[in-house]
Chain A
Amino acid sequence: MKRVGKQTWLFDEGVYIQAAAAAVGPLEADGPLGKYFDICYRDLYCGEKTWELAERRLMREAVGRCLQKAGVSAEEVDLFLAGDLLNQQATSNYVARELPIPFLCLFGACSTSMQTLAAAAALVAGGLADRALTATSSHNATAERQFRYPTELGVQKPKTATFTVTGAGAALIGRTPGRWRIRAATIGKVIDAGLTNPLDMGAAMAPAAADTIEQHFRDLGASPSDYDLIVTGDLSRVGSVIVRELLAEAGYDVSEMYNDCGLMIYRPDQKVFAGGSGCACSAVVTYGYLLHELARGAFRRLFVVATGALLSQTMVQQKQSIPAIAHGVVIEAAGQEPDGPRSGGM
């Protein structure tokens, strides 16, 4: 493991995703990626009494299914890293309460999926853990009632608004060679472009995503064509166009291989405004669909850049602008030659 350039970690020693799992709610199960998710709930309450308990169940089920797929018991895991959107990270802390694993809680808003994955990979590569488990979750109703309004309140949302994904993703990182290898991670800086509208988070987060992607290319001397897919977390219809434009202005043309998880998870006719968002958006798309495509051979190397709007209800009400962050992780189909012709600076 070494640092390359300013913000990028390169994992030479072989850090693998041993297993991953995704649990989702009804709208996501009904979306185009529905068949790739391990656990689908037909009811937004997931059989629980409150929205918060439903989110907790999603994360607990994703973690359980992930460990089951890896054939590893919780006792054999050395570290658990998780985060979510609720105040005081309620979902993660309460799920960790049920696990006999040392726990680090991380907050990166919707960037938590790649934040925890990057941190876990570094800790495993550094020998501080043999196996590290990561998880993140979000729930449409818990996010609505905490960050916005009661779920049944009549509010006409604009086209720029995003729709929080209901779901949870979990991944187990270890050194045993597996199907997916974590090659690199780029840790983002907090970027605040000065936007204040919490109903347009795509535009607020796009500069952070562009900054991390550019930095990644610079640190590694890589170019967009080194990747089969560069995917952002939840920039949605508004932010994904902006990030493409920002990168084009910096001389990087990503139009061939760029997509956004918030656009992939729902069908265009589902009523989700500009697209999906939330911690679970990048987590379930990556751990459910993208890893499946890597294993199948559809992609060889992808760069997942999870984007987070570090939104605080109080700060927004005090007219403060919205800081944003993006963390990227490069995941490769294992068994590929790491120094193949298309590997660029890696």
Chain B
Amino acid sequence: MEYVRAFLAGGLVCVIAQLLIDRGRWTPAGVASLLVVLGVILGFGGVYDRWVASVGAGAMLPLSGLGYVFAKGVMVGPPPSGLVATGGAVFRFAGALLAFMVAGSFAAALICKPKG
């Protein structure tokens, strides 16, 4: 059942993004940024926590999930105060994803040429 929920929720987000691109004439980069920022806002609002609890990866894998993970870093544990603690907290969990993607992309560039 949780697979069905993940499927439906993830698919729904993709459909909305697709319609924004096709009908709303948004650029893909614009939609991607919108999803991430929405994830951040809904994450701080606490809504995204419940969304993740209910649909799992259907909330985590869309780009809004990246925004949620940014927010989650700040929200876990005692609230950080000040520029230093907050800046670090933003990357508490998101850092795992970003570091892996950057390093993985570098590794791919080490061994591969573009195929065209």
Interface residues, chain A, with chain B CB atoms under 8 Å away:
44-45, 51, 140-141, 150-152, 155-156
Contacts and interface: CB of A to CB of B under 8 A. Distances in A.
Contact of B116 (A44, A155, A156): A44
Among B28, B113, B116, find the residue whose CB has the most chain A CB atoms closer than 10 A.
B116
B114 interface: yes
Nearest to A149: B28
Nearest to A166: B116
A151 B116 contact: yes
A150 B116 CA distance: 9
Contacts of B114: 51, 141, 150-152
Interface in B15-62: 21, 28
Contacts of A152: 114-115
Nearest to B112: A152
Of B21, B28, B114, chain A has the most CB atoms within 10 Å of the CB of B114
Interface in B82-116: 113-116
A127 B114 CA distance: 47
Contacts, number: 18
Given A151-B116, A156-B21, 6 more contacts: A44-B115, A51-B116, A140-B116, A141-B114, A150-B114, A156-B28
Contacts of B116: 44-45, 51, 140-141, 151
A156 B31 CA distance: 14
B115 A155 contact: no
Contacts of A140: 116
A321 B28 CA distance: 20
Interface residues of B, number: 6
Interface of B: 21, 28, 113-116
B112 to A, nearest CB: 9
Contacts of B21: 156
A171 to B, nearest CB: 27
A194 to B, nearest CB: 16
A151 B115 contact: yes
B94 to A, nearest CB: 22
Contacts of B115: 44, 151-152
B77 to A, nearest CB: 36
A44 B21 CA distance: 31
A4 to B, nearest CB: 45
Contacts of A44: 115-116
A155 B29 CA distance: 10
Contacts of B113: 45
Contacts of A150: 114
Nearest to B18: A156
Nearest to B21: A156
A165 to B, nearest CB: 13
B34 to A, nearest CB: 17
B62 to A, nearest CB: 15
9 contacts: A44-B115, A44-B116, A45-B113, A45-B116, A140-B116, A141-B114, A141-B116, A151-B115, A152-B114
Nearest to B113: A45
A27 to B, nearest CB: 10
A54 to B, nearest CB: 9
B15 to A, nearest CB: 14
A46 to B, nearest CB: 11
B47 to A, nearest CB: 29
A295 to B, nearest CB: 34
Contacts of A141: 114, 116
CB-CB nearest 8 A-B residue pairs: A44-B116, A141-B116, A151-B114, A151-B116, A152-B114, A155-B28, A140-B116, A152-B115
A207 B77 CA distance: 63
Contacts of A156: 21, 28
Contacts of B28: 155-156
A152 B114 CA distance: 7
